[in-house]
Amino acid sequence: MKITLRCFFVFLVLSAAVKAQDFTLKSTPDIMGVQYSSIDFADIDGDGDLDFFATGANPSYELTSRLYKNDGSGNFTLSDGNTFLKIREGAAAFGDVNGDNFPDLIISGSAPSPTTKLYINDGTGNFSLSAAVFTQNTFSALAFGDIDNDNDNDLIMTGFTGTEAIIELYKNDGTGNFTQVSPAQSGITASGVSRGSVIMKDFNNDGFLDIFATGSTTNNIIANALYINDGDGTFTIKPTPITSIQTGSVAAADYDNDGDKDLLIVGATSVSAKVALLYKNDGAGNFTLVPDLPFIGAQYGKSVFADINNDNYPDVFISGYMNPNRRADMYINNGAAGGFTQVTVPFLGVNNSHVAFADVDGDNDLDFMATGQSEAGTISRLYLNDHFLDIDNPKTATIRFYPNPVTTVLQMELSGIQAVKAEVYSITGQLVHSENFKNGTSPVVHFDALESGIYLMKITTNSGIQVERIAKL
């Protein structure tokens, strides 16, 4: 029998070696390198795979906006049938704005003058310019979401018009016609921001999307605001201790699986200070800083939550610049044991960058695209996640391990098979403990000498290999 091993490390059947990660750089000859970029994935042509759009400045520092189609295996070719306004220093996002179940596309940025354009998808991946009117801006951030629960995508947007920083809310009538809502009507009355980030999430679990925005105001003050949805698409500002950043990004996910959205804040708090901070949500939209995390701050990059190893805990990826290095850092969520562990990765560090995760080759794990300026120049690199591995499973039933979490001794319950050897690996891929078993014994694995944390244990049996994620308390 075969099982699919869902763990972040690949345990080789014929070797004790463990890789701290297993991503493969995929050759992408048709994809142009970009920096000052924005990228997003969506199935634009309804063929069941994820295509992607990229904006930015190419290696010759010329503006570009390109749509790439996926063949289903992660091979991308340029879509020649579409023409988009070329921009950099902005944002791009897919979202169905007219209710036809096809992802449309909005872009905003420098063309080189500030601009915002909406393109409508005909369902086959061909886009036409919409007549919708938005404030033209650059250094943009935007997000789609249904703020009033009328089953269509509304829009929140921040940026710089050339004279002032803005934050603007647009309501959709369901057909792709957008109307700007005044601050007096919306309750979005804090200062506009640019060079920052904006997201829509339900932070207080009332079933309505809230808004968090951060960036630099017209007067170059780094600020943020948390807007709580009143239930009718209007908002009230909620005081929050969250640190304000610019030239960075914000991500939200339930990192601790307690049923609410937590916040990751990465960027610059001043000219010289860069941070990467995680705030825990209590479920009512009240946030507290999570201490003692290994995150390295950066600016001019992207922060992303993504479950890289399919353990149902979102991991963290951070790109950007932290003097003197460009960064591309991956942190694995330790799950029930708490915290994150940084792992060694082969990725080129990038700044002026964007990163997006998506399953581009249909193998049920998250791959990612990273763009930006690197030591190798302006790049767009696609990394395929190879952590899935088919291995022989002992008979039809898996071995039961208990107790897990473990404090001292881990028991194993086997059915008709014989355990030969146990190997315990740290989350960074180091073999930290091993035990051999004699035939006829009841196998146990001793964890008492190991530090608290997450471990991956490989059990070799007389009929195959088993791997289990073990938490040591």
pLDDT digits (tens, 9 = 90+) for 115-147: 999 999 999 999 999 999 999 999 999 999 999
Q: Please list the ranges in the chain whose pLDDT falls under 70.
A: 1-21, 387-398, 427-429, 440-441
> Would you state the pLDDT for residue 387?
67
Let me know: does 445 contact 412? Beta carbons within 8 Å: yes
Assign a CATH topology to domain 20-387.
Answer: Methylamine Dehydrogenase; Chain H (2.130.10)
Quick count: other Cβ atoms within 10 Å of Cβ 253? 20
For residue 265, what pLDDT is reported?
Answer: 99
Distance CA 158, CA 143 (A): 9
> Is the omega angle on the peptide bond into residue 29 within 30 degrees of 0, that is, cis?
no
Per the document, the length of the chain is 473
pLDDT at 398: 67
In tens, the pLDDT along 34-59 reads 999 999 999 999 999 999 999 999 99
* pLDDT given at position 353: 98
Inter-residue contact 380 to 30 (CB < 8 Å):
no
Contact 121, 104 (CB under 8 A): yes
Domains 20-387 and 399-472 share a fold: no
Give residue 432's pLDDT: 86
Q: Facing residues of 303 across strands? A: 318
Residue 226 carries which side chain, given as an amino acid letter? L
pLDDT at 210: 98
Q: Would you state the pLDDT for residue 462? A: 82
Q: Where are the domains of the chain?
A: 20-387, 399-472
Q: Report the phi/psi class of residue 215: left, alpha or beta, with left for phi > 0 and alpha for psi in -120 to 50.
A: left
State the Cα–Cα distance between residues 25 and 22, nearest whole angstrom.
10
Q: Distances from the Cα of 386 to the Cαs of 24, 203, 329, 339, 364, in angstroms?
A: 7, 33, 18, 24, 10
Phi-psi region of 304 (alpha: psi -120 to 50; beta: other; left: phi over 0): beta
CATH of domain 399-472: 2.60.40.10
Report the amino acid identity of residue 124. Answer: T
